[in-house]
Amino acid sequence: MSTSEFVRQGGDNDTRLPTQQARPVNGSRRHASPAFTAAALMMVNDVLVTIGAFLFAVIVHFLSISRMPGFHMRGLPAHIVPQSTDLWYLLGFLVVLLFVLRRYGLYNGVPNRSGAHELRLIAQACLTAGVLLCGWLYLMHNVEVSRVLVVMLVITTALALGVRRTLWRTVRFARYAKGVETRNVVILGTNQLSFAIGQQIDDDYHLGYRLCGFLHAPGTTDAIEVPQERILGDMGRLRELTRLHFIDELVIAQPCAIETVIDLLEEAHDVEIDIRAMSGFYGELGQNAPVEYLGAFPMVALHRRDPRTVAFLMKRVVDIVLSLAALIVVFPIMLCIAIAVITDSRGPIFYVSERIGKRGRVFPCFKFRTMVKDAEAKKRELAKHNERDGILFKMTKDPRVTKTGRFLRKYSLDELPQFFNVLRGEMSIVGPRPPIASEVAKYALEHFRRLEVLPGLTGLWQVQARHDSSFARYIALDTAYVENWSFWLDLKILLRTAQVVIKGTGT
């Protein structure tokens, strides 16, 4: 489900920056592209897999030699166990392997080849690296390194990389099919080429894209070839549409004036989206950018935002480690809480609420039940007692809260089951609190900024203004977190959260 279902149509009157300040993709402030960052991570992964394959080959080779008649551990020939100097040959094998894999296009962010073709290229790359390694050994007159070990290295590396790639494709495509981790794309243009690109995106979920719609290209008189209901407007709505639909990328499929494109690059810099154009449209803006493919269509990047992939990967690793450790430590406490909840009042142990998560996706948020069974029905009756302005509902002595529930809320123990949401990738340890659909339905355009990251168990608002009744303050702090996020900010929030929990200042 997308938050766009809850959104009112509206405009945005922000003015654009002067065109002379435009910084195309080849400028000095160019950020690393998402494709480059993804390729670097895949290379590191392949290096680790290859080292593991080498160690496995050494062990298998040693065990096979040890079974031979007359084998003695003392006085082993040098060619049986690799020496420290032989690690240089492994390094050479790795460098050649990575170069060939990159040359074959196996470090693209989205796999555009079939699985069988990719496996064939992996085997070919490993064989090429192995042959060059043997040639190097021959030129160096090295007879101590076992050629059998080299053959085993090639075979185990090809198998290990093939298995890793197959698993990666399977997991990634399964997530794409569910709409997870896809890139939201809008196409600038309504001509036949625009329709063809949009059709390919719609028909092939393996590309990892979701088409949000089309925009009218300014200054064009071509006939409209795309469905009218999928036209979102013109370029003037780009800022608004980026917030409402969480747009990641704009694809220019219909040529327009160079001045218009420069204005568009400035807009993209402000709203943090990528821009690609059909190869050959604007050579002067992307003359040094490599050709990328969106399905079968060659593209050139004109603007890239900073993806911060490594930082967010570290955040995810920390989330998994901390949530697992927390669940292990607090499991006895959770068991006692479960008994107390069902003893105090009738109803289920857990309260499951549909919340709006990152990029508008709906997920089940788990909590220990702290209210009576029919709490939602009674909420309408208590609306006049709401102590907060705007969207949020808060009541100091809420009659729906049970005795056990008051204790759990005071020390934030009712939110312990949300560690399961963190493990499932629906939440983070630190982030904005996940809103309900009725709150999102009343959001103004600027409020959607807080939905661009994973919601969290705790956040800036919880540790700085938990008892502040102002909805504006609530949104401002969450937006400030999104715009200024860093690993150290998360650490500070966690330390402040520990103080809040220990003091029991929750309600």
Return d(Cα 130, Cα 136) in angstroms, integer: 10
Mean pLDDT of 415-424: 93
pTM (global) more than 0.85: no
Q: What is the pLDDT of residue 258?
A: 87
Nearest to 308 by CA among 482, 166, 112: 482
Nearest to 460 by CA among 424, 427, 438, 485: 485
Question: Strands 209-216, 183-188: parallel, antiparallel or unpaired by DSSP?
Answer: parallel
Residue 346: how many other CB atoms lie within 10 Å: 7
Q: What is the pLDDT of residue 24?
A: 38
Return d(Cα 123, Cα 424) in angstroms, integer: 34
Question: Strands 456-458, 428-430: parallel, antiparallel or unpaired by DSSP?
Answer: parallel
Percent of the chain with pLDDT over 70: 77
User: Does pLDDT of 7 surpass 70?
Assistant: no
Answer yes or no: are the C-beta atoms of 400 and 372 closer than 8 Å.
yes
Return d(Cα 50, Cα 404) in angstroms, integer: 54
**From-to residues of CATH 3.40.50.20 in the chain:** 3-30+182-305
Q: Who contacts 422 (Cβ-Cβ below 8 Å, separation ≥6)? A: 319, 320, 322, 323, 428, 429, 457
Q: What is the pLDDT of residue 448?
A: 87
User: Does pLDDT of 187 surpass 90?
Assistant: yes
Write the CA distances from 365 to 317, 343, 350, 358, 501, integer angstroms: 21, 23, 10, 13, 20
Q: What is the pLDDT of residue 13?
A: 37
Answer yes or no: are the C-beta atoms of 333 and 412 closer than 8 Å.
no
Return d(Cα 53, Cα 129) in angstroms, integer: 14
Domain 3-30+182-305 has CATH 3.40.50.20: yes
Return d(Cα 434, Cα 355) in angstroms, integer: 6
Answer yes or no: are the C-beta atoms of 164 and 49 closer than 8 Å.
yes
